[in-house]
Amino acid sequence: MAFNPLNRAFKTGRFAKDAKKAKIKDVELCVAIQQILLGQVDDLGGGVFKKRLNNNLHRSILLAKGGKYWIYEYLFAKKDRENIENDELLAFRLLASSYASLTDHQVGQLLINKDFVEICHDDKTEIQK
């Protein structure tokens, strides 16, 4: 799988704050998306994926919307916890299903409201300061 113009990656407002605190830059998140598209990710099912970041110090939970949108949803430090709990996984699957029904207009509104921050699109990275 290769990154194509239809692929876009976002981070939620909460993820953005946590990533900034962990000193994880958008460039690293976009590189991780490229790795995901090559299969270098743990598929937890139901549109939920776990990707290691920051030299394996952190784990991210990403939600996919039909192979078109990737959304960084949750970040945690490996030293704080090994994995997410089963009830959290079920909640993330439900959220991934909800994201799957988003229209382009709704995604635009999430961006305007700063609930989402776009970080990658068309092989480009939007560097957030």
Q: Residue 125 above 70 pLDDT? A: no
pLDDT tens track for 59-94? 999 999 766 789 999 999 999 998 999 999 999 999
Tens digits of per-residue pLDDT, 8-43? 899 999 999 999 999 999 999 999 988 988 899 999
Number of continuous H segments (helices) and E segments (strands) in the chain: 4, 7
pLDDT at 121: 73
Q: In the structure encoding, which two tokens stand for residue 49, read together?
A: 């994926």
**Residue 111, token pair as written in the block:** 């961006």
Q: Average pLDDT, stretch 114-121?
A: 91
Q: How far is 110 from 82, CA to CA, in rounded Å?
A: 30
Query: Contact at 8 Å (CB) between 41 and 11?
Result: no
pLDDT tens track for 45-54: 999 999 999 9
Nearest to 101 by CA among 45, 50, 63: 63
β-strand pairing of 124-125 with 58-65: unpaired
